[in-house]
Structure 1
Amino acid sequence: QTKIDHSIALLQKGERIALKYSDKGYHVAFSGGKDSQCILQLAKEAGVKHYAFMSLTSIDPPEVIRFVKSNYPEVELLKPKDSIYNLAVKHCYLPTRRARWCCNDLKETKFANTVQVIGVRHSESFKRSKRNEMEISGHKFSGTEDEFYNEYSDYTETTSKCIKGKENIIVSPIITWTEKEVWEYLNDRNLLYCKLYDEGARRIGCICCPMNGNKSEKLAEIRRYPHVYRNWIKAIKSIKAIKANRKESFLVWKHTPEEIFDYWISGDNYKKWYAENFLQQKLDFK
């Protein structure tokens, strides 16, 4: 309850800043997952003005989209201007953990110069454990909560805004929450959740997301959504053709599209993937 009270107070305190940047107030980034359900519910309980949106990527699980449409009609579904497959061809490489152009192109640059609420938590990853409760996208604010509000609340119509270009103020009200606490919060309020969790999903997001390091889960996803696999193979073929025309000789792209896809979802570096798939002798003990 202490964490709930803190999260609500955080949103209430920052509402005046959110309203200075947008008459819609907070922009709540919704994904249909448990954490986004949590932050949206907190915004409702805090009584702050907010606008919830979900940035679609063209590789969203259809079960998630149906769940959001049925249970959160107030969330605006924003369709991408181009599919992730076409974007991959334009970039001429697939998105990776280190080069996530997909998030930048399809999610993070939407609604610049607003105060956005997101559902990241420290316990999710090492990188997220270093994030702050309040940040400016692109760089971190180092200081106390009060110092943050003091620095970024003096905006008036006659002065320049504190965030510029494509930046946003990012608020993470559940950053210290555990996964168990998120589920307790949702269950206590009798909120329905996407059925994929009951089918074994630990996270709900893009199909074959490079941030998911579990290859077996990705293989299960492409068995469930074979159209995603077919579309990625088509995109890889197009990228290979472009690289061949440019006479680029990267080792990875000398493989077949199916092998390149397997390497991509493995999460391994090329040397390790190549050794495991082509150099190690496979023994038959029968």
Structure 2
Amino acid sequence: MDLEQTAIERLKMASDMSLRLYKQPLVITYSGGKDSDVLLHLAGKSGIPYEVLHSLTTADAPETVWHVRDTFRRMELAGVKCTIDTHRTPDGGNVIMWNLIPRKLMPPTRWMRYCCSELKEGGAKGRWIATGVRWAESAKRKSRGALEVLHSNKSKRLTLMNDNDASRMLMENCQLKGKRVVNPIIDWADTDIWEYADAEGISMNPMYACGWKRVGCIGCPLASKKERRKEFSQYPKYRDSYIRAFARMLAERTKRGLDGSWKTGEDVFHAWMEDGVLPGQMVLEGMEDI
């Protein structure tokens, strides 16, 4: 069975389970990146009923925001329910990257990815979702399965129908209230994604045509230093937004009596970027890479 057919069969199986267990259609999570565009196309070809969900991070590039809006406009004209998920504070305000950083009292890092957990992963509670997760994206994702039950308690998570583990059953008896997840393109390589998108004429985020290897939050700590420098060079207003958020973070830390070597938002930014600039040093605009 080829990759497309296998992915479609996974979608059909998850859709059937979602309709039986939750009495609601499968939710396709959509980021505006290449994997989610391929996933959305496969969902359409599968013939299943589905909805689409985009989690608003407030730190995506403008091109990604426009691409998501254009895609949703097409989907809605075709009768597909599309939702942009925003996040709320206990007092009813919006959670955005720029007020999340002061609230967490530290910058987001590859080890403390609170931005992902609060801005990307909280939607579709009580629903069965489909994601574009692929093993080829990182070594960590090789532990992910084609069908999963996620839970806030890691010890209670299940990987179902893991293609790397013949000992697992297709489904396992579970009374957990964790989120059910299907990863239909888990075993696709990067070349499979691009070849399929080209063959099917899938409209992709325009950032890829401009040489971008990844599209996600500007400044994501999971990206390489080179990628992050490129992002802030092209989108300097995002750099300024991070610096202002870091300054508010320092003010909140001072209010709570927390010490630290950082004095300004720029000090935090340079430490976060690991660019070798010491607290109090000045860097002339355009000379950041020297």
TM-score (norm. length: structure 2): 0.81
| Aligned-residue identity in percent | 27
Q: Do residues 84 (structure 1) and 106 (structure 2) align?
A: no
Cα distance change, pair 100–20 in 1 and its aligned pair in 2 (3 A): farther
Structure 1: distance between partners of 2:268 and 2:259: 14
Q: Please say if residues 24 and 127 of structure 2, whose CA atoms lie closer than 8 Å, have aligned partners that are also in contact.
A: no
Say whether the 8 Å CA contact 2:146–2:161 is kept in structure 1: no
Question: Which position in structure 2 is the counterpart of 1:151?
Answer: 173
Gaps of 5+ in 2: 76-81, 88-93, 163-167, 279-290
CA contact (8 A) 2:33 2:205 kept: yes
**Maintained 8 Å contact 2:26/2:49:** yes
Change over 3 Å in CA distance of 1:259–1:216 after alignment to 2? farther
> Which residue identity is paired with 2:171?
Y
- Secondary structure at 2:84's aligned position in 1? strand
Question: Offset at 1:150?
Answer: 5.2
Report Cα offsets for 1:100-156 as digits up to 9, x if no partner.
11111112111211111010111111111121111111344255468343536xxxx
Matched residue, 2:53: 53
- For 1:28-52, what per-residue CA distance to the aligned partner results, in whole angstroms no more than 9, with x for missing partners? 1101111001111111111111111
Q: 2:158 aligns with which of 111, 125, 141?
A: 141
Q: Deviations over 1:236-262 (max 9, x none)?
A: 1111122223332244xx253213112
Distance 1:112 1:196 in 2: 31
Instruction: Report what 1:159 is aligned to.
Output: none
Q: 2:90 matched to which residue of 1?
A: none
Unaligned runs of at least 5 residues, structure 1: 153-161, 267-272, 279-286
Preserved contact between residue 141 and residue 148 of structure 1 (Cα < 8 Å): no
Counterpart among 195, 198, 203 of residue 192 in structure 1: 203
What RMSD over aligned residues (CA atoms) do the two structures have, in Å? 2.2
Cα offset, 1:3, TM superposition: 1.4
**Alignment equivalent of 2:108, drawn from 90, 95, 99:** 95
Residue 182 (structure 1) aligns with? 193
Q: Is contact 2:146-2:160 (8 Å) kept?
A: no
Bigger mean CA deviation after superposition, 132-141 or 201-210: 132-141
Question: Does the aligned pair in 1 maintain the 2:96–2:119 contact within 8 Å?
Answer: no
TM-score, normalised by the number of residues in structure 1:
0.82
| Secondary structure of 1:151 counterpart | coil
Q: Which has the higher helix share?
A: 1
Alpha carbons of structure 1 residues 143 and 241: separation in structure 2 relative to 1, 3 Å: closer
Cα pair 1:14 1:149 within 8 Å, conserved: no
Structure 2 counterparts to residues 114-129 of structure 1, below 5 A: 114-129=127-142
Give the match for residue 18 of structure 2. Answer: 18
Aligned partners of 1:111, 1:71: CA distance in 2, in Å? 19
- Following TM superposition, where does structure 1 have runs of at least 4 consecutive aligned residues deviating by more than 6 angstroms? none
* 1:192 alignment partner, SS class: coil
- Structure 2 residue aligned with 1:205, among 209, 216, 221? 216
Counterpart of 2:245 in structure 1 is 235
